[in-house]
Chains A and B, each alone.
Chain A
Amino acid sequence: MTYEVEVFSRPPLVDAPGRAAAAQAREIGLAGIEDVAATRVYFLKADFAEADAHRVAKALLADPVSEVYRLRAVGGAWSAEPPADLAGRRALLVTAKPGVMDPVEASLLAAVKDLGLPILAAHTGRKFYVAGAATEETLAALGREVLANEVIEAVTPGDAVYEFREGRPFQFHGAGEIAIRTLSEAELVKMSRSSHLFLSPAEMKAIQEHYRGLGREPTDIELESLAQTWSEHCVHKTFRGVIDVDGKETIDNLFKSTIARATRELAKPWCVSVFEDNAGVIKFDAANNVCFKVETHNHPSAIEPYGGAATGIGGCIRDPMGTGLGARPILNTDVFCFAPPDFDAKKLPQGVLHPKRVMRGVVGGVRDYGNRMGIPTANGAVFFDDRYLGNPLVFCGVVGIMPVDKCFKHQATGDLVVVVGGRTGRDGIHGATFSSAELTETSDTEFSHAVQIGNAITEKRMLDALLQARDRGLYTAITDCGAGGLSSAVGEMAQHLGAKVHLDRVPLKYEGLSYTEIWISEAQERMVISVPPKNRDEILQLFASENVEATVIGEFTDTKRLELFYQGQPVGQLDMGFLHDGVPRQRRLAKWVATKNKNPRASKKKDFGGDLRAILGSWNVCSKQWIVRQYDHEVQGASVIKPFVGPNQDGPGDAAVIAPVYGSTQGLAVANGMNPKYSDIDPYAMAACGIDEALRNVVAVGGDPTRTAILDNFCWGNCDKPDRLGGLVRAAQACYDLAKAYGTPFISGKDSLNNEYQTGGVSVAIPGTLLISAIAIVPDVRRSVTSDLKDAGNFLYLVGLTKDELGGSHYYALKNAVGTRPPRPDLATAPKTLAALHEAIKAGTVRACHDLSEGGLAVAAAEMAFAGGLGAELYLSKVQREDDVTRDEQILFSESATRFLVEVEALRAAEFERLLHGVPRSQIGKVNDSGRLVIHGLAASSAAPPIATGTPATDAAPVIDEPLAALRAAWLKPLDW
């Protein structure tokens, strides 16, 4: 028997989802939709009587205070009437497509069984009753554009009879062979694309050669294993290949000769494990190390923003969990790149979701997964540019903490291969190879199976059990099932050993998966551990006691071969050497061509208040409160510096600080640096400024620059194109130069290199985007500093040298210009500046500190002033600057690197100055309580003062004189959704 239970909100309570749907329909201009009422629907397949179904509805489905329900046996009559005001409306039912995971289903089944009632299956849906004269087409558009994402959900008429569909068992007829030995190159290329392998012609030929040598054809599962393992996503072919730089230079392995080289040469004793494990590990205190990983989940988020982002954060959380013997996640940081939310909907290319919808979905996905996991999302950033329209970027970063003796794996021959956590389904097939493809108009339909749906609670439950098993020493190694699923996880763990895996033992969500699908599915919330046979019973019992599924699917061997079985028969056998080292190295051409930009004409303005408000109200600079407050940034009770600062928590902070060990005052600062605008002039400057900005942010809150590690995440266009690769090479070279000069090692990183979007025959690449994420030790969190101004009368110092570097600035963006001179950190003075400022903060001489980034001095001063609710008066003439800085606009808005605006008590000014000896700095004004920001310009007659002793020209007229309320309002307005 199938019962249908429909739950309505009890009048007069507000039907929030219905109201939101109606509002969004209006927003996108759907005519004739007057009102929408939303209900939840549950389909229960069970052998119990109707009275029992009522019991389920009352105990679990409908809230007795705020909701009412009606129930019927499917096809029968309702046992209670719907609210009268829904009569005559047309209804749409939204349900998950077959094979798409419905997280509520599992909880519902367990809860019904807990009531002592037998139940076979349960599905959920949402029903929408639409009032108004909308046409059938409009109704269909409502379903498609507002109510459902048809990639994963089906919209059907609300009165159709619901059928439970079940998978049919997979029909196994022995291993399937794929004939490739006799194919021509053209045929190999065709097969690579049509089978979604996304291997290059050279790679296809290498596989062909290998099997010719073996004297047999590959099986389907072998070919898939190779495609997964050799995907750009998994082996970083570009970074590890050979690059011919414009015929002048050959780079053999860009990664090893830049990023990894800096780390190796710096040889920091506090680096525990770098570039080896699922996250980079550094020392924290005597008992604990911390690890950090940042990843992207771009392509899935483009076609299903909510699910793509949720599984992005879910997958990244599994990286610390799969580092060493497993770390406990303690902080999330999320960075997104979108097209502007006000993008003209009429200009939207086919197959592309509107950026506002993408943004709502991505934020919702990160929120629901991160919040449910109980990990504070304490830091992040959002960057907007039109070129992210078809290819948004979603970076998820997670910090974990682990005991010092749990940082390395030691799997051994004879250990059991155990898969833990969620079941395997058809979701997420080909995610790893999909990320190697350019997105096209058909991506949303062609790759819908690459989208995974997350279930945070499955992951949380698994985490709780795994940490207990780790502490009891029950397993010897762990890794997550990420891209490539079991094929990658087992393949990696068994790389130096070998393994036998019985694929029919893997628990499935539903029948019908082939052995290959089981092997490469990227179904979420699964990890693989290696368990010594003697611990088998104890660990399985532990997992069962926490309702976590764990299954022995094979064992590690000493054959250096991966041997795959289904129903006892061999279906694949791969040599570990060929699998991991057989991929032919790529040889590519790089040629960076400098863009030809011009500087706009110098401004003759006397008042820059309007420009300041415009920058504060720009998408990139404005308050991200709408996003940040949807994240739980305080769970775990470790937060010391939160995203918003000031007496009313309405000013932007620079970095998150947490004290993760209860009772200890040692902390961690985490921040990001990124500014793709500079890429339009020079990717070297973009990368250099990203590193400088990440370090500025952690130092500004009290992080120790000599105990800071960084991570790189490159998102780039198609690097088969020499200009894109040329830019990538320049950015990587900056990474080496800066890391060496600053003494800041890279400990982990990732790249996503096919971020292009094809439409109308044109390929649009994203701007070269490098996200730098920094993690710093804060020696004593009680010395941490925030950016809000604290007390009237205190001095304001500008630390660092201001240069004529308006290229790529937000000020030039106001003028629709890019300019020619982006900021370039000074490699000699920058590390000294960071070190000296850190000493000054540690000594307690700093009351407030804010780094100068987007919008330069004017924006930093405004943010500090309105965050503190006080006021400030500054003099541009006192700013330390280079000789060619002669105009107010240059000093106000240049984004020169390694600069900070610092508030110091008058009594401690001498001490502060002494600690900053040798570093460019000058007192440029004072804090007051006027409620205004006043910035005096350079006096008309004054030339640039000598760098060492700027003398003030205090009588110069203000070039900015704005009430803080107006500045704050401008900053808050754009994302006040």
Chain B
Amino acid sequence: MPPKALILRTAGINCDLETEFAFTSAGALAERVHVNRLIEAPALLDGYQILCVPGGFSYGDDLGAGRVLAAQLVVHLRDRLRRFIDDGKLALGICNGFQVLVKTGLLPGPVDEKLGTVPSLSDQFAQTVTVTYNDSGRFEDRWVHLRSDSDHCIFLEKGEIVTLPIAHGEGKVIPTDAAHLDALRHLGRIALRYVGPDGADLPPFPFNPNGSIDAIAGLTDSTGRVFGLMPHPERYLSGLQHPAWTRQLKGPAAEGDGMRVFKRAVKYFK
């Protein structure tokens, strides 16, 4: 039985169709569901194994990127979401969806995990990182190189280098402070970083397209089952989507780098 993915939809989410196609292509059963349906009947979530918050401008990003949808999820669905993750299920946030998961506090999640102290539910929904305006001060659409740096995030393979497009105006990731950044590094929460074309660390603009601290492009939580990233894996499923595919004499690659993220999510349930 293939896993069922819920592609969350609301006003301004605009990458839901291609994200649905990505999950379907990877072998999942995907359905687009409006957040109103989840708020009316939170138990609906129990019928799914994967929750994906896709890209877009939820509610116009009117009070900051992802802010309003994050508040809705926390107000209406916090217990249900926590249980969803604790049950061993997966959550993925792409671009606006990443901003949403960060602003709910689910990403990167609490870092104070002293032996024996389980964080309270309110701590788990405390925002500790933010995603804010690009250093360039404007929206940027370009392709970037990324390296996966987490050994426990199930959506990635540690050390792999991938190429994906970004398209955002608010993608600069900022942890609370230097100590918090150290903790995130130490705990392997920094799942994805921008690198130079040659794989170099901490590249300058435009390779780090937004000025993210520590070149952070994506985060995971303590379980590795919640993952969010600014780049768009659903926009590189087929070789034809690469900006320089026409240079290949043999034609485009059979599969784009982004497909791996979705295939790993599906494979996790097999």
- Contact (Cβ within 8 A) B132 A637: no
A372 at the interface (CB under 8 A from B): yes
A642 at the interface (CB under 8 A from B): yes
Size of the A side of the interface (Cβ < 8 Å), in residues, is 67
List the B side residues contacting A140 at CB < 8 Å.
Answer: none
For the complex, give the distance between the alpha carbons of A663 and B17 in Å.
Answer: 13
- Contact (Cβ within 8 A) B71 A111: yes
List the B side residues contacting A649 at CB < 8 Å.
Answer: 142-143, 243-244
List the B side residues contacting A632 at CB < 8 Å.
Answer: 139, 141, 167
Shortest beta-carbon distance from A364 to chain B in Å = 9
Stretch at the interface among B51-59, B110-118, B182-190: B51-59
Shortest beta-carbon distance from B126 to chain A in Å = 8
Stretch at the interface among A43-51, A60-68, A284-292, A572-580: A60-68
A546 at the interface (CB under 8 A from B): yes
List the B side residues contacting A784 at CB < 8 Å.
Answer: 246
Q: Which of B6-53 contact A (CB under 8 A)?
A: 9, 11-12, 14-15, 17-18, 21-22, 34, 36-37
Size of the B side of the interface (Cβ < 8 Å), in residues, is 61
For the complex, give the distance between the alpha carbons of A373 and B36 in Å.
Answer: 20
For the complex, give the distance between the alpha carbons of A914 and B64 in Å.
Answer: 59
A395 at the interface (CB under 8 A from B): no
For the complex, give the distance between the alpha carbons of A782 and B248 in Å.
Answer: 11
List the B side residues contacting A61 at CB < 8 Å.
Answer: 63
A307 at the interface (CB under 8 A from B): no
List the A side residues contacting B133 at CB < 8 Å.
Answer: 16
List the A side residues contacting B12 at CB < 8 Å.
Answer: 372, 456-457, 460-461
B159 at the interface (CB under 8 A from A): no
Shortest beta-carbon distance from B41 to chain A in Å = 12
User: Which of A104, A632, A782 counts the most B-chain CB atoms under 10 A from its CB?
Assistant: A632
Residue of B nearest to A547 (CB): B11
- Contact (Cβ within 8 A) B130 A781: no
Stretch at the interface among B84-92, B150-158, B231-239: B231-239
- Contact (Cβ within 8 A) A107 B244: no
- Contact (Cβ within 8 A) A629 B57: no
- Contact (Cβ within 8 A) A374 B137: no
List the A side residues contacting B127 at CB < 8 Å.
Answer: 63-65
Q: Which of B129-178 contact A (CB under 8 A)?
A: 129-130, 132-133, 135, 137-143, 165, 167, 174-176
Residue of B nearest to A456 (CB): B60
List the B side residues contacting A59 at CB < 8 Å.
Answer: 71, 74
A455 at the interface (CB under 8 A from B): yes
- Contact (Cβ within 8 A) A63 B64: yes
Shortest beta-carbon distance from B34 to chain A in Å = 6
Shortest beta-carbon distance from B231 to chain A in Å = 11
List the A side residues contacting B67 at CB < 8 Å.
Answer: 60, 63, 111
Q: Which of A632-658 contact B (CB under 8 A)?
A: 632-642, 644-647, 649
Shortest beta-carbon distance from A113 to chain B in Å = 11
Choice from B22, B141, B143, B246 contacting A631 with Cβ under 8 Å = B141
Q: Which of A571-607 contact B (CB under 8 A)?
A: none
A114 at the interface (CB under 8 A from B): yes
B196 at the interface (CB under 8 A from A): no
A630 at the interface (CB under 8 A from B): yes
A551 at the interface (CB under 8 A from B): no
For the complex, give the distance between the alpha carbons of A637 and B252 in Å.
Answer: 16
Choice from A63, A663, A782 contacting B130 with Cβ under 8 Å = A63
Choice from A66, A371, A547, A640 contacting B174 with Cβ under 8 Å = A66
- Contact (Cβ within 8 A) B247 A790: yes
Shortest beta-carbon distance from B96 to chain A in Å = 10
Shortest beta-carbon distance from B197 to chain A in Å = 9
Q: Which of A821-875 contact B (CB under 8 A)?
A: 848
Q: Which of A448-465 contact B (CB under 8 A)?
A: 455-457, 460-461, 464
Residue of B nearest to A848 (CB): B246
A762 at the interface (CB under 8 A from B): no
Known: A107-B62, A111-B63. A630 touches B57 (CB 8 A): no
For the complex, give the distance between the alpha carbons of A461 and B11 in Å.
Answer: 5
For the complex, give the distance between the alpha carbons of A65 and B65 in Å.
Answer: 14
A523 at the interface (CB under 8 A from B): no
For the complex, give the distance between the alpha carbons of A665 and B128 in Å.
Answer: 44
Residue of A nearest to B105 (CB): A64
A87 at the interface (CB under 8 A from B): no
17 chain-A/chain-B pairs, Cβ below 8 angstroms: A60-B71, A65-B129, A114-B68, A114-B75, A115-B75, A116-B75, A367-B139, A456-B12, A457-B12, A457-B59, A461-B12, A545-B34, A629-B139, A634-B167, A635-B55, A638-B18, A790-B246
Instruction: List B residues at the A interface (Cβ < 8 Å).
Output: 9, 11-12, 14-15, 17-18, 21-22, 34, 36-37, 55-57, 59-60, 62-64, 67-68, 71-72, 74-76, 103, 126-130, 132-133, 135, 137-143, 165, 167, 174-176, 232, 234-235, 237, 240-241, 243-244, 246-247, 249, 251-252
Instruction: List A residues at the B interface (Cβ < 8 Å).
Output: 13-14, 16, 20, 59-61, 63-66, 103-104, 107-108, 110-111, 114-116, 367, 371-374, 455-457, 460-461, 464, 545-547, 628-642, 644-647, 649, 659, 662-663, 665, 781-782, 784-786, 788, 790-791, 848
Beyond the given pairs A371-B139, A545-B36, A637-B15, 18 more chain A to chain B contacts, judged by CB atoms under 8 angstroms and listed by A's residue number, are A59-B71, A61-B63, A63-B67, A65-B176, A111-B59, A371-B167, A372-B60, A457-B11, A545-B37, A547-B36, A628-B141, A634-B141, A636-B15, A636-B17, A637-B18, A637-B232, A640-B241, A782-B252
